Amino acid sequence: MLTRRAKLLKDPGDVRIGELKPVIPLVGVPWDWSTAGRPGARFAPSAIRSELLSFTPLSEDLGCLRVGFDDLGDVDVAGGDAALTGSRAVEAARKAMEVARERGVPAVFLGGDHSITAWTARPFVEAGAAVVVLDSHYDLRRPSEGVTSGAWLRELVESSGARAFVVGVSDYVNPPYARQRAKELGVEVISRWQVAEGLDQVAERLREALRGSEVYLSIDLDHLAQYFAPGVNSPSPLGMSPQESLAVIEAVASSAKVVGVDVVEVVPQLDPSGLTVRLAAALLLRAVHMAIARRTAS
């Protein structure tokens, strides 16, 4: 007997995310031409998709996720052309946002290096959303020439006036001027050490600041210690733990309406074990599930 796809586990009740009704719009942005570190994030969208769809929908505290991902495909990247790729990504993000609003779910984006967030978050910011970033880096650079994924947040804030929060900024991975530039731009920063020393206080601070807001959440996997996420563009030796990340995500989703989520800076070929890709997919899924559960509860 022949089958279209081999399934070794013969359990008809074992439903996976990829088998659920496709409702949550998902867009890939396989761009990493802005990477000054270790390239390869262009290969992440397909890898993360595969892991994401392989999970089961059951969460022990949130229950079963009832809807799956409506894959709208990848942005047509023009290699080396940030302006053209960016315009296409903004257009795709605007379409995904419209679909997500109609369906009452967040839109999801798979990067790519972190510069993609300047494009995918733009329609949401223009509609009034704040930006919350999990990242070891400030990403507020002003390069003298060329492009870098370390400048996207400055560009977004300067061009749109976006209200921005960066959680997880770590030691020895940022330029000396970064803290002062954050103050000048009005970007609120919560360091990795503030998280370690007072996670409950950090969570409450985010809840107070974001309560009632719409939020675009960007998850840069390099906010995690490289022990947990070795396959990233710019690894962080002293980064956060996944448990701390989950607490921050819960604080955001419990107080604000999460309208968009992305995951970025994953470089699959730098982690042959697949741990980084799978962790990226799990954090993304948790953020989306929590956002939907909180909307349903309210």
Write out pLDDT tens, residues 61-77. 999 999 999 999 999 99
Tell me the CATH number of domain 17-297, given options 3.40.50.10800, 2.60.40.10, 3.20.20.450, 3.40.800.10.
Answer: 3.40.800.10
Residue 3 banded pLDDT, cuts 50, 70, 90: very low
Query: Which tens digit of pLDDT belongs to each residue from 23-76?
Result: 999 999 999 999 888 899 999 999 999 999 999 999 999 999 999 999 999 999
Mean pLDDT to the nearest integer, 222-234: 96
pTM: 0.96
CA distances from 265 to 93, 117, 176, 221 (A): 18, 11, 22, 6
Q: Domain-by-domain residue ranges, the chain?
A: 17-297
pLDDT number for residue 13: 85
Would you state the pLDDT for residue 37?
Answer: 83
At 142-177, the pLDDT tens digits run 999 888 999 999 999 999 999 999 999 999 999 999
